[in-house]
Amino acid sequence: MNSWINTANAPDTEFPVSNLPYGVFSRDGSKPRCGIAIGDSVVDLSVLEQIGLLDVVRGNSIFSEPSLNEFMALGNETWSAMRSRLIELLVADGDPAIKGNDNVRLQAVIPAADVRLHLPFKVAEYTDFYGCRHHATSVGTLFRGPENALPANWLHIPIGYNGRASTVVVSGTDIRRPLGQVKPQSAETPLFGPSQRLDIELEIGAVVGRSNTMGEPVTVADADDMIFGYVLLNDWSARDIQAWENQPLGPFQAKAFATSISPWVVTKAALEPFRVSTPIREHTLLPYLLEPRPLLYDIKLEVEMQPGGANRASTISRTNYRYMYYSPAQQLAHHAIGGCKMNSGDILGSGTISGPDTGQSGSLLELTAGGRTPLILETGESRSFVEDGDTMTLRGWAQGDGHRIGFGQCSGTILPALSPSIFNLADPGRDR
């Protein structure tokens, strides 16, 4: 399927006409509004809406909003109808309403290089899971030994924690190194200061579109229907803060300071040809978690690290989303099984995605064996964890026959921590 936008037909483009991911953009300081990516362009959906080319939402102005939430809340039928209409407008032999009208085309089709991308939806809630067996086993072995690597419940339920929606940011946002409380093994009491073991976690985030009713569980099939699409997600993690605070309630400050996501939401429909099954189970899951069909995706993933001042990045990991043990639909169904209400704009992080082989891990904690075996980058620098000035970039795409469905990138650069002196720590009696 070719588009009249020629760059969308290149075999290496991330945004062919079979993709059409949604996002929010602005241009020249204008108000942010909704668009889709295609080739090297962004199509302004608010323009198409205003001139009556989007029959699916006729009479509304949902694409003039600075978020996708209102559109996502409309559900599967509307998502499907909108996708069909956009393809009709953008394929080479389709409706010429944009292609054949110079005025419309100039207003609606904008070079991607000329726009600023924003957080694509208002994040309602953020839950992060621990859903990849290879990652859980690797990390568990580091801390508890191979005989106790997996918690007793891990093979039976999708484990997760509630994160901070307020610090979910779009790709390209700088990340401040967090301050926190840590307790080195050599210290009798905890210390306060900047995290020294700052890490990334390569994840995919499932974006909830349609809500459920509080008090009413959903099936795995229903959960899949509720998911609008997917983004790349970096769950930034301060490992030294995490190690001290982790018991008994799990991640808190170590995860709360920042989570980065890619600016384009790739829809379920675009990923449909790439569905794969979850792995064979060691223990049969309870009936409410059983999947009626394949609900994972074959998505290739990479992590790049570029030290501050370096002229190029090094690829430090290559892995695949298909290595997950739990699918996003299983995670969502489990989340809602007790009556939890899910809202449009909720995001579910998959958990760190790691494969079984060397170089397939989605965190520096694994790649460096807890910091004991630093990585040597192509530029000659060594890294055990992320240092100030480093830029971390996640990439992902599903590879088809002569085309790919890409996510763009999810990147963030680390800024130095604020000085602990801002708390006047020299005066221990200030709170008395």
Model pLDDT for residues 89-99, shown as the tens digit of each residue = 999 999 999 99
pLDDT-derived band at 385 (thresholds 50, 70, 90) equals: very high
Is 70 exceeded by the pLDDT of residue 429? no
Q: What is the span of the domain harbouring residue 389? A: 126-418
pLDDT by residue (tens digit) across 280-314? 998 999 999 999 999 999 999 999 999 999 999 99
Whether residues 95 and 141 fall in one domain = no
Whether residues 371 and 283 fall in one domain = yes
Whether residues 18 and 67 fall in one domain = yes
Residue burial 68-77, b: 16+ Cβ < 10 Å; e: rest: bbbbbbbebe
User: DSSP labels for 79-103?
Assistant: HHHHHHHHHHHHBTTS-TTTTT-HH
Whether residues 73 and 187 fall in one domain = no
pLDDT at 249: 85
Whether residues 174 and 77 fall in one domain = no
Mean pLDDT for the stretch of residues 210-237: 97
Choose one of 118, 138, 162: the last residue of a domain. Answer: 118
Whether residues 175 and 293 fall in one domain = yes
CATH number where 46 lies: 2.30.30.230
- Report if pTM > 0.85: yes
Of all residues in the chain, the percent with pLDDT exceeding 70 is 97
Does a structural domain hold residue 322? yes
Of all residues in the chain, the percent with pLDDT exceeding 90 is 91
Is 50 exceeded by the pLDDT of residue 362? yes
Does a structural domain hold residue 399? yes
- The DSSP H or E segment spanning 317 is strand 314-320
Choose one of 91, 118, 145: the last residue of a domain. Answer: 118
- Looking at the 3D structure of the chain, how many domains does it have? 2
Is 50 exceeded by the pLDDT of residue 432? no
pLDDT at 430: 42
Whether residues 89 and 170 fall in one domain = no
Whether residues 35 and 147 fall in one domain = no
Mean pLDDT for the stretch of residues 247-269: 94
Choose one of 118, 153, 176: the last residue of a domain. Answer: 118
Does a structural domain hold residue 427? no
Indicate the residue type of 300: K
Is 60 exceeded by the pLDDT of residue 428? no
Mean pLDDT for the stretch of residues 390-406: 96
Whether residues 194 and 171 fall in one domain = yes
pLDDT at 415: 98
Q: Show which residues are catalytic.
A: 135
Does a structural domain hold residue 335? yes
pLDDT-derived band at 71 (thresholds 50, 70, 90) equals: very high
Pick from 210, 323, 337: nearest CA to 268: 210
pLDDT-derived band at 56 (thresholds 50, 70, 90) equals: confident
pLDDT at 59: 66
pLDDT by residue (tens digit) across 97-124? 999 999 999 999 999 999 999 999 999 9
Does a structural domain hold residue 253? yes
Is 70 exceeded by the pLDDT of residue 137? yes
Whether residues 158 and 88 fall in one domain = no
Q: Compute the mean pLDDT over every residue in the chain, rounded to the nearest whole number.
A: 95
Whether residues 45 and 150 fall in one domain = no
Mean pLDDT for the stretch of residues 234-257: 93
Does a structural domain hold residue 1? no
Specify the DSSP class assigned to residue 154.
T
CATH number where 148 lies: 3.90.850.10
Mean pLDDT for the stretch of residues 206-224: 97
Whether residues 94 and 45 fall in one domain = yes
CA distances from 82 to 22, 101, 416 (A): 11, 21, 44
